[in-house]
């Protein structure tokens, strides 16, 4: 709560990462202050927990108990319908947030970076952050934007501004605190209740955010942002205007839990090809997985070759490669590059197709004319895959 005459900038810096929904009070009466204190101390005589800062005057007719100027909460009244509204739904999630190598300080920095980047992007796109309902989910944010805000703001300036903000964050932070973000866009009717928000449109946005093709697109790219929009959002908003770059979106099928539908994905600044490179492993000419013996001269020749490949030199880009391996959780992390690369290759040798999977993962991040990649292929296969 921001009291009259005070500013959110006065919130201590160590608490700001946890301040997702500030409420500004223009004035406070004695009665309102008393009610506010009772709610903050969870007085059982008061109404249920806060949903959002809702300022629409019509809420008074839908059972809204006022706590004073600028602060309201929903209090359902028997016989009165819940509050239904059309919202643009924007939800984001940090890729690989739960990595075991991160500390709690890393998590705080990641959350702060996520909130700062999203808020800056909203400001650049002229989307009013303070008028939005926000729900914090640790490594993700659900944002519901008033239907009066033009949806073109999400299709045009928002992705570009978000990429710029994320890249600025990543330049200032170590690998453990760098962010790759997934973004989902949808719109529809939602219902507010005592505890938050509900509705099929919200479920659909969350399922889109967890679509495997979206995760794969981010894992196989050096992009800081991979975005997905619903078929409705693409058809009704994006495809009609060239400035929204509709040709850069790729149509995919989304199957998550009980949800099955079509989505459209894009990685701004690292645009996806219409079809994945099929030349990596030709179906008609299956590649025999190489056999390497750990600690043999051939083994260390391959370690040398791996160290020369750009995407294996940086810890962050190495992580992008590892996340494509089904056995990534079994690879022991070591702090120096050569030791880590050796650990990766040794673990790959424990699986029948492990080395082949490693090469495929690298090929997703390296250009086909990469000389270091060609040298690796020559060592392993006597040529290219």
260 and 131, same structural domain? yes
Q: Higher pLDDT residue, 216 or 120? A: 120
d(CA 193, CA 206): 19
What is 47-90 written as a DSSP string? Answer: ----------GGGGGGTEEEEETTEEEE---TTS--EEEEEEEE
Owner of token pair 């703001």: 153
259 and 231, same structural domain? yes
The number of distinct structural domains making up the chain is 3
Residue 162, pLDDT > 70, answer yes
pLDDT digits (tens, 9 = 90+) for 281-338: 333 344 455 677 877 888 999 999 999 999 899 888 888 888 888 888 889 989 899 9
Q: Which residues contact 298 (CB under 8 A, 6 or more apart)?
A: 292, 379
pLDDT digits (tens, 9 = 90+) for 121-161: 999 999 999 999 999 988 999 999 999 999 999 999 999 99
Does the pTM surpass 0.85? The reply is: no
326 φ, ψ (degrees, to nearest 5): -65, -20
Over range 55-77, report the average pLDDT.
Answer: 38
d(CA 215, CA 276): 14
Owner of token pair 């080395």: 355
**In percent, how much of the chain has pLDDT > 70?**
74
239 and 164, same structural domain? yes
334 and 227, same structural domain? no
Residue 45, pLDDT > 60, answer no
Highest mean pLDDT among 150-159, 188-197, 313-322, 349-358: 150-159
Query: Can you read off the two tokens belonging to residue 9?
Result: 């900038």
322 and 200, same structural domain? no
285 part of a folded domain: no
61 and 94, same structural domain? no
Q: Higher pLDDT residue, 175 or 184? A: 184
Half-sphere exposure of 330 (CA within 13 A, CB side): 11
Q: Vertex 375, ends 372 and 378: CA angle to 5°?
A: 155
Predicted pLDDT at 276: 39
182 and 125, same structural domain? yes
pLDDT digits (tens, 9 = 90+) for 304-313: 999 999 989 9
Domain end position, chosen among 21, 54, 78 = 78
DSSP state of 11: S
305 and 255, same structural domain? no
**Which of 236, 254, 128 shows the shortest CA–CA distance to 184?**
254
361 and 316, same structural domain? yes
pLDDT mean across residues, the chain:
80
189 part of a folded domain: yes
Domain end position, chosen among 25, 53, 78 = 78
2 part of a folded domain: no
313 and 193, same structural domain? no
Other beta carbons less than 10 A from residue 228's beta carbon: 27
Over range 80-92, report the average pLDDT.
Answer: 83
Residue 241, pLDDT > 60, answer yes
52 and 34, same structural domain? yes
Residue 46, pLDDT > 50, answer no
pLDDT level of residue 368 (50, 70, 90 thresholds): confident
73 part of a folded domain: yes
Residue 29, pLDDT > 90, answer no
**Burial of 11 (C-beta count, 10 Å sphere; 0-12/13-18/19+):** middle
95 φ, ψ (degrees, to nearest 5): -70, 135
Residue 65, domain extent? 8-78
Other beta carbons less than 10 A from residue 306's beta carbon: 26
Specify whether the CB–CB gap between 348 and 271 falls below 8 A.
no
Specify whether the CB–CB gap between 164 and 269 falls below 8 A.
no
Predicted pLDDT at 35: 65
d(CA 364, CA 4): 54
CATH number for the domain that contains residue 239: 3.30.70.1230
């Amino acid at each position: 709560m921001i009291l009259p005459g005070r500013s959110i900038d006065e919130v201590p810096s160590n608490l700001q990462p946890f301040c997702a929904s500030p409420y500004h009070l223009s004035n406070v009466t004695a009665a309102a202050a008393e009610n506010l204190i009772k709610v903050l101390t969870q007085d059982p005589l008061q109404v249920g927990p806060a949903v959002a800062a809702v300022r629409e005057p019509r809420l008074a007719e839908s059972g809204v108990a006022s706590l004073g100027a600028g602060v309201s909460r929903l209090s359902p009244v028997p016989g009165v319908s819940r509050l239904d509204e059309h919202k643009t739904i924007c939800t984001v999630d940090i890729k690989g947030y739960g990595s075991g190598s991160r500390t709690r300080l890393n998590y705080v920095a990641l959350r702060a970076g996520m909130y700062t980047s999203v808020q800056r992007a909203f400001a650049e796109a002229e989307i009013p952050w303070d008028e939005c309902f926000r729900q914090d989910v640790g490594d993700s944010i659900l944002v519901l934007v008033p239907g009066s805000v033009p949806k073109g703001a999400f299709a045009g300036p928002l992705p570009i501004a978000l990429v710029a903000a994320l890249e600025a964050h990543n330049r200032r932070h170590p690998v453990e605190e760098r962010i790759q973000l997934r973004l989902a866009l949808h719109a529809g009717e939602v219902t507010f209740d005592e505890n938050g928000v509900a509705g099929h449109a919200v479920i659909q946005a969350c399922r889109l955010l967890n679509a495997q093709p979206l995760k794969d697109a981010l894992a196989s790219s050096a992009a800081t942002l991979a975005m997905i929009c619903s078929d409705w959002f693409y058809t009704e908003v994006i495809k009609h205007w060239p400035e929204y770059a509709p040709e850069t979106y790729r149509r995919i099928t989304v199957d998550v839990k009980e949800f099955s539908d079509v989505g459209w994905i894009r990685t701004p600044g690292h645009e996806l090809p219409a079809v994945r490179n099929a030349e990596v492993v030709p179906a008609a000419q299956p590649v025999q997985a190489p056999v390497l013996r750990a600690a043999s001269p051939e083994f260390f020749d391959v370690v040398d070759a791996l160290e020369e490949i750009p995407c294996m030199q940086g810890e962050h880009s190495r992580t992008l490669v590892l996340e494509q391996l089904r056995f990534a959780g079994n690879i022991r992390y070591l702090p120096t590059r050569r030791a880590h690369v050796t650990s990766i290759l040794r673990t790959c040798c424990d699986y029948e197709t492990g080395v082949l999977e490693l090469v495929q993962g690298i090929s997703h991040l390296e250009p086909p004319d990469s000389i270091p990649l060609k040298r690796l292929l020559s060592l392993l296969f006597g040529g290219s895959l």
